[in-house]
Copies of this chain bind each other. A is one copy, B any other.
Amino acid sequence: MGFDIFGQYIKDKSQVSDEDLRRIEAVSQMKKLRKRQYLLQEGDIWKYNAFVTKGCVRTYTVDEKGNEHIQSFAVENWWTGDRESLLSGQPSRFNIDAVEDSELVLIAKEPFDLLCKTIPALGAMVNGILERSFIASQNRIQNFLSLSAEEKYLQFLNKYPELTTRIPQSMIASYLGITPETLSRVRKESYRKKG
C-alpha cells in the first residue's frame, strides 16, 4: 500500500522503469507514526530520505524558552527529513513528529544515493525536487522580508488552502513566525473585511 503511492509518485515525476522501481522498493522501509510520535528528535543523526504517503508531519526546533518554531510541514507526496544532518553526519537541531497519524517511506542515505547514480532518471528527479525546494525556500524568505503578519497568513491560505483545515492554527502561526494570539486576531480582522 504505502510503497504503491510512492511508486506512483516516481512514475508521475520521472521515467523510472518498473524494474528500477522494484530496486527502489527493495531498499525502502515503511514507517507508521501515530499522532505526536517522533520521526526524528533533536540530537539524533538523520540518515534517510523520507517520503510521506499518508498524514502529515512537521519539522521544528525548540528554543531555550521552550517555544517551537516550525520549519516545514509535509503531507502526502511531500518529502521530509533534515538535509543538514544527512549531509554533515552531525546531530540534528530539528525535531520531526506527526501532526496526524501518518505513513512514510524511508530509504537510507547510502542505498538511495547509489540508486540515484545508477538510475539517471531518479537522480534527475531528485535534483529537480531539490531545485524546487530551494526556490520555495527563497520565496519564503522573501515573505519574511516583505510581508506583515496578516499578509503572510493570506499568502499561506492562498498557497496551501488544504493545509489550513488539517493543521492546528497554533502550528500555522509558528510556521509563519507569529504567535497564535496574533494569528487569531489577524483572522478576525480579515473576515471582518471580506468574509
Residues of A that sit less than 8 Å from B by CB = 61, 63, 67, 69-71, 83-84, 87, 93, 127, 130-135, 137-142, 144-146, 174, 177
For residue A143, give the distance in angstroms from its CB to the closest CB of chain B.
9
Q: Which of B84, B135, B144, B146 contacts A138 (CB 8 A)?
A: B84
Q: How far is the CB of A13 from chain B (nearest CB, A)?
A: 15
* Known contacts A127-B127, A130-B131; A83/B145 CB under 8 A: no
SS of A interface (majority) = helix
Chain B residues contacting A70 (CB-CB under 8 Å) are 145
CB of B138 within 8 A of CB of A63, answer no
- Assess whether B83 is in contact with A138, with CB atoms less than 8 Å apart: yes
Residues of B within 8 A of A130 (CB): 127, 130-131, 134
A61:B142 contact, CB within 8 angstroms: yes
Determine whether the beta carbon of A141 is less than 8 Å from that of B140: yes
Which 6 residue pairs spanning A and B have beta carbons closest together? A69-B145, A144-B144, A137-B137, A134-B134, A69-B146, A145-B177
Q: Is the CB of A134 within 8 A of B83?
A: yes
Which of the residues B61, B127, B132, B137 comes within 8 Å of A146, measured between beta carbons? B61
